Structure 1
Amino acid sequence: ACAQGHQWQRVSDLLLGTMQRTSRPNVISYTAAMTAFEKGGRWLSALRMMAMMRQQRVEPNAISHNAAINACERGLQGGAALQILSDMHRHRVRTNIISYSTAIGACGSSAAWRLAFDTFSNLRQVSIQPNVITYSTLITACEKTVQWALAVGVLLDMQRRTAHANLILHNALISSCGSS
């Protein structure tokens, strides 16, 4: 509820209060706090919360990692999002399409379109099939950096691989062509 209301400071205080009492926060508590930080635009606080989890020997799961990647996307921190994705592999936390799509979005938001494409190409190495959201996110990265020719290539790749384009994806493609 606090995350919905952008009350990240209150969530932080609640979590610290829980830590000072006898009960220890769990992965759900930490993930909720990271989500609140993300909603409040506090990406660095979300990353600190992830570090605190490990210090307290609470193992982050895919959901908590994805919350941290979301915070990085909102904070325009593509490099930090990719570091979290790398940490997931290093700690043997199973990545998923959400992890990759959000990291691609973070790269696109921070104008690191080459990193967005590199991350997209890594999907096949980890046996994850891109979906229409992933393709839309990649096309949006192209749009933000005026790479319309690449956006057209992404759409053609998607059609070749039988992912179905939707209205959002077509609008992003049209917008990227109009930006050039």
Structure 2
Amino acid sequence: PDAQGEGGEEEGEGGGPASNSPASVELQAINSLMSACGRSGSPDVALRLLNEMEGKFGVQPGVGTYRAAVIACNQAQHERRRARARGEALPEEECDYNHEEECDLDDEECGDEECGGGTLHWWECALSLLRRMREAGLTPDVQTYSSAISACEAAGQWRRAIGVLRSMSEKEVKVAGAKGGAGGGSIPTPPNLFCFNAAIAACEKGGAWLEAIELYERVRSGGGSGDLRPNFVTVNSLLIALDRAGQREMAESVYREAMEEGIVSPWKWKFDSDAGKILALDLHQFSTPMAKIAVRGLMNSLQLSILDDDAEPEHNSDRDLVIVVGRGRGSEGGKAVLGPVVQDLLAREFRVQSMVDARNPGRIRVRREELASYVERMVCDFSLI
């Protein structure tokens, strides 16, 4: 995910509103240009503007200037991750910083494959910009921090992401106003949900599932401010981390809690050409691990209803089951991913056959006869116990 917005009205050097002087107007123009560079995939131009603006234009960078530069680095790092996923050859990154002078990474953490030694990568540039802001007497706002954490997440640098997150609790974080501009001064502010989600996603990519759980529990307890709650992105990232670590029972427990708390709501009303308006299991926004857990939960609820007359299954076996899996338009390469996974899971673990809906290839259908047969097999199996 890219940064949250681009920022609006500009702060002055001390964190207050910019004046209407020619210099402040020029500062806003430079900041807007840097934001445009980030959106257009030219972070090197944004950093060049940052480095040259005082000498060329006689204007000192402000909080919004650094924010735009960090966002540009974040966007560039995410684009590299997407390009790598597509199998594209990646050019050398160009960042106008000297690694030894600007980067404060220790040798152990700097030995990652993303680190290029003498040339900074975009996630490193984002961290260096944070340090440069503080050295200039400027206070990074929450959006700047979240963008730096997101850049670390895109590079799989989970230790650095957690380090930035922890530093926010130790520093004065400026609370931006409604338009991303001047706020009410600098007060201690805990990280927002964007920061936590990016850090959990970084742990997921780095295989740090214990750290991901710790961060998730912090969010559930309010994140320090008392007003944070996990959302769909939070749960999804944690489930991917637990799935990769082989923590199936824990992942299923987290999913059940998320359903009970209304964070995840997989059952949606859909129109079906055969039955009209129906409740379908909508998984098309789910990751593969979350989709597997949802399908297992559905089938296990059918089993539980056999053992306990008071238990309500998620779906009644007397009607067709429709599972929305999408057509793969949002996947890398536009290839359907969830459909084959769900069909294989149903056949392999539950001996239930399914088919792609002939009228809508983004849906899988399990005939009621197939579900009834599954329930009968379960009744026979339980009677033998």
TM normalised by structure 2 equals 0.40
Give how far 1:163 is off: 8.4
- After superposition, the C-alpha distances for 1:96-153 in whole angstroms (9 at most, x for unaligned) are 111111111111122222221111011134232334234743245x7xxxxxxxx752
SS at match of 2:74: coil
Residue equivalent to 1:116? 251
**Equivalent residue letter for 1:20:** E
Read off the aligned partner of 2:325 and give its amino acid letter: N
1:64 and 2:188 equivalent?
no
In the alignment, the residues of structure 1 paired with residue 203 and residue 340 of structure 2 have an alpha-carbon distance, to the nearest angstrom, of 25
User: 1:42, CA displacement in angstroms?
Assistant: 0.3
Partner residue in 1 for 2:330: none
Size of the aligned set, in residue pairs, is 171
Q: Quote the Cα distance in structure 2 between the aligned partners of 1:14 and 1:86.
A: 30
The answer on 1:50 being equivalent to 2:202 is: no
SS at structure 2 position matched to 1:2: helix
Q: Secondary structure at the match of 1:8?
A: helix
CA distance in 1, matches of 2:76, 2:348: 34
Contact 1:73 1:103 in 2 (8 A): yes
Equivalent residue number for residue 296 of structure 2: 153
Describe the shift of the 1:12–1:153 C-alpha distance in structure 2 as closer, same or farther (beyond 3 A): same
Conserved? CA contact 2:240–2:287, under 8 Å: no
Structure with a larger share of its residues in strand: 2
Provide the residue aligned with 2:18 in structure 1: none
Q: 1:146 maps to which residue?
A: none
Asked if 1:166 is matched to 2:309, the reply is no
Percent identical among aligned pairs is 21
Specify every segment of 5 or more residues in structure 2 that has no aligned partner in the other structure, as ranges: 1-71, 78-121, 172-187, 267-282, 302-312, 327-336, 350-385
Q: Could you tell me which of 81, 85, 95 is aligned with 2:216?
A: 85
Partner of 2:289: 137
Q: Which residue of 1 aligns with 2:76?
A: 5
Larger radius of gyration: 2
Which segments of 5 or more consecutive residues in structure 1 lack a partner in the other structure?
Answer: 143-150
**2:234 equivalent in structure 1:** 99
State the partner residue of 2:134.
19
Q: Structure 1: how far apart are the matches of 2:194 and 2:322?
A: 25
State the alpha-carbon separation in 1 of the partners of residues 323 and 242 from structure 2.
Answer: 23
TM-score when scaled to structure 1? Answer: 0.80
Of Structure 1 and Structure 2, the greater helix share is in 1
